[in-house]
Structure formats: C-alpha cells, structure tokens
C-alpha cells in the first residue's frame, strides 16, 4: 500500500510539474511573440498553437512518430526497390525523407522528372501552388507589381498567378531543365538559373521586387533557413514575402526543426503578418503559409 501511495504521489507530481512548465512556456511564447516581436494577435495565436516550446519532448516525439505513420509515401520506403521513375507521386517523393541533404542530387532528380513534373501536379496531388497564388493575390492589388518565384521550377504557381492577372513575374531556380519547361509556357518575364546558398548574395538586384514567394522550396535537400536573408535583400521596403511548405518538415527535418521558424521570426528587417495552416497541401499532408512584410 505504501508503495502504491508513493507511486501515485510521484505520478501526480510529474503531471503537475509538466502542466506548470507548459503553462510557463506558453506565457513566455505569448510575451516574446506579441510584446517583443510585435506580431499581430492572430499571428501570435497561430505561432503559439504550434510552438514546440510549450510541448514536452515526449509529446514532440509522439507528434513526429504520427507524421511518419500517417505518411503513405514514407511507409516501407525502399529506394532500391522503388527507384526514382517519373511514373507516380510515390516515386516523385522518393528523395524527400526528413534527413535528405544532398542538394545536387535533388537537382538531378528534378532534371530527370522535368518533362513529367506538370503531369504530377495536374493530378491534383499538390494544392500548394494554388494556395500560395491565392495568398499573393489577396496581398498584392497592383497587377503590374514585380514578383519573383523562388525555386519556381516549371512555373506552376506563376501560372496560377497569371490567371489572377499578374504579368511581371521572374523566377530563380537551380534546375535548368525545369526552367526550360517554364519558358515554353511564357509565364515568366525572366528566368535565372542559380542556386541560392546561405551567406552568398545572388545576382539579383537589391530592393527590386514587390513580392517574393515560394512553394515547396523549404524541403529536405532544398533551401537552408538562412537563405531568407536574400529574400529580404531583394524585397522593396514594405514588400511582402509569402512562403509555403509542408508542415511536417518543421518537426521532422534536421535542417528546419527548431531552426527555420526561430530564424525567420528573429529577423528584424521584416515582421510576420500571418501564419496559416492548410489541410491537404500535398495529398493528405498539411501545409503552412507564412506572410512577412519588410519593415
């Protein structure tokens, strides 16, 4: 009986301790987001709802496990058996495991799938381009504004923006084969084949664009968090940046877990306007869209 009572007391102590720690961390999150970084109330609420700081490591691990279990593309993934053909979405995603880091291999994969990439997108699996295009359209009222698509590939998002009436859209992407497909569509005013790297200034002019946007550019083996410095550099004052990505990479990818959001949020040259979660961003996977405004 004494052992049972002691065990119950320890469990109760642990539960109370975890609850207090989580509440304290939540209030810290609110304080930092709202009072220090001056985020809007809505943006603060969205950040705090997903902030890992007020989740214990146990629950964070459970979340990561759930992402893996729910991912039909990562179940029983065997690269040697599946290969990387352009036949299916599953094979299209074969290199996007959370710890993938070889950017050169990613570029090669995109080159090999360039001719079939739009077929994959048009099958309705990937709603990200339409979601981000809608967000940009809501933000930018001037249809003659100068926009740039970061890692725009074959121009799926630009094509959606064209439907809204935008005419001046540039693109920068590291895969020449993808850009060749985009050029055939005439959706971009200028196509620049260049890889954006942390700490390296691109050939793009400073303060040139009214809006910088990207879809799926932050994924394993793609852009590093520090590249957003370049986004800010090429944005005009008061310009907007719209970033769309799969939500799970924030919690499962080594390059982004506890790195991407903290880095973006700490920069003082822009401020977060909105952070919104979307279901079925890619198949049954949710996505996140960030909207920043340059100060």
The residues that bridge with 170 in the sheet, in sequence order, are: 148, 190
Compute the residue count for the chain.
295
Those residues of the chain that have pLDDT short of 50 are: 36-40, 42-43, 46, 50, 52-95
User: What digits encode the pLDDT tens for the residues 188-220?
Assistant: 999 999 999 999 999 999 999 999 999 999 999
Residue ranges of domains in the chain? 2-69, 72-124, 127-294
Scored b (16 or more CB within 10 A) or e, 167-193 reads ebbbbbbbbebbbebbeeeebbeebbe
Q: What is the pLDDT of residue 87?
A: 42
User: What digits encode the pLDDT tens for the residues 56-85?
Assistant: 333 443 343 344 334 433 333 333 333 344
Q: What is the pLDDT of residue 33?
A: 54
Q: Which of 137, 171, 127 is nearest to 151 (CA)?
A: 171
Distance CA 119, CA 48 (A): 38
* Per-residue CA distances from 198 to 16, 57, 127, 223, 284 (Å): 43, 29, 28, 8, 31
The distance of Cα 108 from the centroid of its chain, to the nearest Å, equals: 21
Other beta carbons within 10 Å of 201:
12
Q: Which of 192, 221, 263 is nearest to 103 (CA)?
A: 221
Global pTM reads: 0.72
Other beta carbons within 10 Å of 101:
13
The residues that bridge with 173 in the sheet, in sequence order, are: 193
Q: What is the pLDDT of residue 12?
A: 74
CATH of domain 127-294: 3.40.50.150
Strands 168-173 and 146-150: parallel
Torsions phi, psi for 187 (to 5 deg): -90, -20
């Amino acid at each position: 009986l004494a052992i049972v009572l002691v065990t119950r007391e320890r469990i109760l102590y642990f539960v109370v301790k975890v609850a207090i720690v989580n509440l304290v961390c939540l209030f810290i999150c609110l304080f930092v987001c709202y009072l220090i970084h001056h985020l809007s109330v809505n943006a603060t609420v969205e950040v705090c709802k997903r902030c890992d700081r007020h989740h214990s490591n146990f629950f964070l691990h459970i979340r990561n496990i759930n992402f893996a279990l729910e991912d039909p593309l990562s179940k029983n993934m065997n690269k040697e058996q599946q290969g990387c053909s352009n036949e299916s979405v599953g094979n299209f995603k074969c290199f996007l495991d959370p710890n993938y880091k070889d950017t050169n291999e990613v570029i090669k994969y995109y080159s090999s799938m360039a001719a079939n990439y739009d077929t994959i997108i048009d099958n309705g699996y990937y709603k990200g381009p339409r979601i981000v295009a809608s967000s940009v359209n809501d933000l930018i009222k001037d249809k003659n504004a100068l926009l740039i698509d970061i890692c725009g590939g074959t121009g799926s998002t630009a094509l959606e923006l064209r439907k809204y009436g935008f005419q001046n859209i540039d693109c920068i992407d590291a895969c020449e084969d993808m850009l060749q497909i985009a050029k055939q569509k005439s959706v971009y005013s200028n196509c620049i084949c260049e890889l954006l790297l942390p700490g390296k200034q691109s050939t793009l002019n400073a303060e040139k664009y009214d809006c910088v946007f990207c879809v799926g550019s932050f994924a394993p083996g793609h852009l590093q968090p520090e590249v957003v410095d370049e986004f800010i550099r090429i944005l005009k004052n008061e310009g907007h940046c719209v970033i769309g990505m799969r939500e799970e990479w924030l919690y499962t990818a080594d390059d982004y877990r506890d790195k991407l959001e903290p880095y973006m949020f700490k920069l003082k040259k822009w401020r977060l306007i909105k952070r919104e979660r979307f279901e079925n961003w890619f198949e049954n996977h949710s996505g996140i869209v960030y909207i920043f405004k340059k100060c």
